């Protein structure tokens, strides 16, 4: 496994592989890897001749009051985990390599970024699409794998790829959960033991919503109220949003008639966690 830090070197390597007709699979990450990331890497390994994983905590996607400075980082552990997965290259650029002095170009997907997390994290998705497009131009993958845990991000990237005619397949990978249902996230490391117990309310409330819908409840407002009540029973929890949306457009649904995505963001203490569930509804 090789670690590449320079953009030009990564591009040269990708050009060489492409000349030799190798299929390049790509997994972009911000590091502090857990089983969720490793499941994306394994998915890429199954389909690609060469797998590149990037590790870059992208300053552009953090708001001024967010956790960029303290975002968990452990590059040595990340590299040893990736070595074990036998990835070919880890691309680990520095912030100055990605955004040198004078940098002023950004990519923005408009409608899909308005609701859900976009409503509370202004500029976040602009930061994500900008860095992902840059990474695509550097790594030159045939396909890239993104987790459904960040469902809105997945949809936004798919939109960007379609709208800008990028010849890259976006592969969606299912959310990986702990034994009790908590979705894996690098930010789970911020949680105290008691907060970890309260954090389970996210998944449990999604299961509650699923039971309600399968039991015939169709009023989105009612379901959101019951989810909110459930989550608030646990100490430390403060709901930022609970939304029931069309899984493709991410527009709010009032009366549930077909498949919906239920997505939520909850502060558990100071830690903001997100989760979501696609609920299949017979027409
Ligand atoms: O999902 C993430 O970890 C990040 O948003 C990504 C896609 C690596 C871009 O920085």
pLDDT average, residue stretch 145-171: 98
Contact 29, 54 (CB under 8 A): yes
Which are the contacts of 30, defined by CB distance < 8 A and separation ≥ 6? 55, 56, 57, 58, 71, 186
- Say what the pLDDT of residue 4 is: 99
Task: Establish whether 34 is a catalytic residue.
Answer: no
Digit-coded pLDDT (tens) for 189-241 = 999 999 999 999 999 999 999 999 999 999 999 999 999 999 999 999 999 99
CA-nearest of 269, 262, 204, 211 to 231 is 204
- Say what the pLDDT of residue 43 is: 98
Task: Give this prediction's pTM.
Answer: 0.98
- Distance, in Å, from the CA atom of 211 to the CA atom of 205, rounded to the nearest integer, reads 10
Ligand 1-lining residues (CB < 6 angstroms): 28-30, 58, 61, 128, 131-132, 150, 153
- Distance, in Å, from the CA atom of 206 to the CA atom of 45, rounded to the nearest integer, reads 31
Residue 50 lies in a domain: yes
Edge-to-edge order in the sheet of strand 50-55? 2-4, 89-91, 50-55, 24-29, 143-147, 169-173
- Average pLDDT of the chain to the nearest whole number: 98
CA-nearest of 149, 168, 134, 156 to 44 is 168
156 and 190 co-located in one domain: no
pLDDT at 283 over 90: no
- Say what the pLDDT of residue 282 is: 83
Cα 136 to averaged position of ligand 1 atoms, centre (Å)? 12
Residue 127 lies in a domain: yes
Which ligand 1 atom is the nearest neighbour of the CA of 150?
1
3-state secondary structure of 246: coil
User: Tokens 């909110």 belong to which residue?
Assistant: 228
Question: Whose CA is closest to atom 1 on ligand 1?
Answer: 29
3-state secondary structure of 243: strand
218 φ/ψ angles, rounded to the nearest 5 degrees: -120, -5
23 and 124 co-located in one domain: yes
198 and 166 co-located in one domain: no
Residue 178 lies in a domain: no
Cα 163 to averaged position of ligand 1 atoms, centre (Å)? 20
| Token pair for 245 | 């949306």
Digit-coded pLDDT (tens) for 41-66 = 999 999 999 999 999 999 999 999 99
- Say what the pLDDT of residue 227 is: 98
Domain that holds residue 100: 2-173
145 and 274 co-located in one domain: no
Domain count, the chain: 2
- Distance, in Å, from the CA atom of 99 to the CA atom of 25, rounded to the nearest integer, reads 24
pLDDT at 150 over 80: yes
Domain end (from 146, 173, 200): 173
Digit-coded pLDDT (tens) for 87-117 = 999 999 999 999 999 999 999 999 999 999 9
197 and 79 co-located in one domain: no
Question: Which of 132, 134, 158 is the pocket-test mutation for ligand 1 (most atoms within 8 Å of CB)?
Answer: 132
158 and 85 co-located in one domain: yes
Edge-to-edge order in the sheet of strand 260-268? 237-245, 260-268, 271-279
Cα 27 to averaged position of ligand 1 atoms, centre (Å)? 9
């Amino acid at each position: 496994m090789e670690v590449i830090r320079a953009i030009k070197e990564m591009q040269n390597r990708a050009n060489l592989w492409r000349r030799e007709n190798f299929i390049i699979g790509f997994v972009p990450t911000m590091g502090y890897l857990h089983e969720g990331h490793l499941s994306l890497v394994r998915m890429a390994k199954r389909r690609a001749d060469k797998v590149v994983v990037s590790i870059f905590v992208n300053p552009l996607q953090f708001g001024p009051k967010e956790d960029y400075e303290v975002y968990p980082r452990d590059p040595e552990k990340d590299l040893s985990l990736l070595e074990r997965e036998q990835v070919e290259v880890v691309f680990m650029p520095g912030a100055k390599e990605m955004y040198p002095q004078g940098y002023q170009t950004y990519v923005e997907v408009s409608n899909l970024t308005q609701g859900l997390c976009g409503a509370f994290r202004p500029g976040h998705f602009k930061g994500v699409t900008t860095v992902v497009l840059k990474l695509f131009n550097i790594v030159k993958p045939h396909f890239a794998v993104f987790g459904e845990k960040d469902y809105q991000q997945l949809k936004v990237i798919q939109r960007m790829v379609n709208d800008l005619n990028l010849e890259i397949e976006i592969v969606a990978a299912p959310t990986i959960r702990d034994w009790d249902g908590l979705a894996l996230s690098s930010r789970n490391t911020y949680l105290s033991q008691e907060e970890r117990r309260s954090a389970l309310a996210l998944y449990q409330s999604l299961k509650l919503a699923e039971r309600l819908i399968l039991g015939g409840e169709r009023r989105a407002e009612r379901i959101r109220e019951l989810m909110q009540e459930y989550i608030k029973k646990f100490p430390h929890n403060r709901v930022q949003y609970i939304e029931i949306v069309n899984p493709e457009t991410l527009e709010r649904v009032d009366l549930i008639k077909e498949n919906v995505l239920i997505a939520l963001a909850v502060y558990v203490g100071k830690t903001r966690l997100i989760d979501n569930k696609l609920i299949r509804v017979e027409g």
